[in-house]
Structure 1
Amino acid sequence: MNGMSRPGNLDLDLLRSFVHIAETGSFTRAGEIVGRTQSAVSMQMQRLETIAGKPLLVRGKGGMVRLTQDGSYLLSYAQEMLELNDKIWAVFQGESPSSRIVPDDYALPIKAQREAFTMQVMVTLLTNRKFSEANALIMRYVENHTMVNPKEINQKDDDLIMSLLSMLEYISINFLSNSMDRNIILRQRKSGLLRTYQVLKNYIPYKRQAWGRLNAYRSFEEVIKNYILVDSKISDYAANGAEPALDASS
């Protein structure tokens, strides 16, 4: 023995419930998907947080659930673990993983629920003090036409930016999975999302390298590149390197 302790094991059932909570923003909806009661799912999350030794989820006003910074960190790995598990399981069940079809409405709330969930998240972004401070910080960089230099910012600003990015990644994950109402996001926050991305273009890869996590904030980037930059004016910016007008409308 070399004196090193053996690593613990993460329960895939716990991770599956955790991922569905992140995707739907609801303990109740996640419970419906995995076939458990809301209280049973809550107990699962308590066990998962005990194993992780850190809080992963925070319940907000109106029953909205958001990820903590550690929860956001866990989410991408949990999704990868479940995807690999499901592929292996499909093979041993005689299925071809590539041929498995996931219905478009799988694990998604109905339209009204998506709209309500989206608006709850938007209200949090607009009214939560920490996110408001982070947005004000980003807007100062926008107004000065500069980008965040991750090597020069102080710890407080670094914490604000990571919190904001964690929320934006959470929004992007739900946006891409159709759990959120895309029209609300694109109509109300399109230019704000782009400006935030522009300011943090150097910060994001720096954090990826520092953490050794190549997929950090990938969903946010995907939303920007595949849904925000499709606008003709913004696409011209991407092609020519000219900064678009940073007006308040979208």
Structure 2
Amino acid sequence: MSVVPGVRAHLRRRLLVSYRLDPDVARGLLPAPLRPQLVNGQALAGFCVLGLDGIRPRWMSAEVGLRSENAAHRVAVEWDEDGAVRTGVYILERHSSAWHPVLFGGRLFPGVHRHARFTIGERDGRYAMTMDAGGEHLDADVEVGGPWTSAFFDTVEEASEFYRSGRIGWSRAHDGVTLESVALAAEGWAVQAARIRSVHSSFFDALPPGAAQLDHVVVMRDLDITMEAPVAPQSVAVAV
């Protein structure tokens, strides 16, 4: 399988909503050789919503780039590589408002995507969004600022470093039996704490009662990013 070429984009906004997830539930969501990365005895999972523009191959000018809204459900993971423990995330599913990642994701663009409808409201540091994709639904209303509260991290700076270190994302390829990786690199790194007004996810709401507990949300804004495949695809036994 050929490696997907890297792309560049401008990140207008990225909401990272995180849950405390029961480790046994998390293990059931992951294919080998990935395992949950535990923080204070709990798995960390959640979803992110990204607003991107200027999406193009690395060699192309930003003026001709594409624009999209995107969402991804993810679980923090670790794995063994060359005698060391590496960390990243496993992407359970990706959705996009645009057709180019749906048609060409995993081929010309990183990651397999499904199409979804997004509604985004952004004003004065407050972000209200919804995503509908058939039977799947997200909605989030958050506002930058307010006191930091989290059972995972004592400070927003600690959370920021955790997310920075987990920049490699694994997901299933089109064949369903191969794991492909994408690395996110940002020119600069800025994470801000945000206050949760309301959050709902049909994915996490459908887990067993008490398995997923909302923990915190952070926001990233106005960054130039690169997405590329740093690791060769790996064939794995994926449970279905």
In the superposition, the TM-score normalised over structure 1's length comes to 0.26
Larger CA Rg, structure 1 vs 2: 1
Name whichever structure is richer in strand by fraction: 2
In the superposition, the TM-score normalised over structure 2's length comes to 0.26
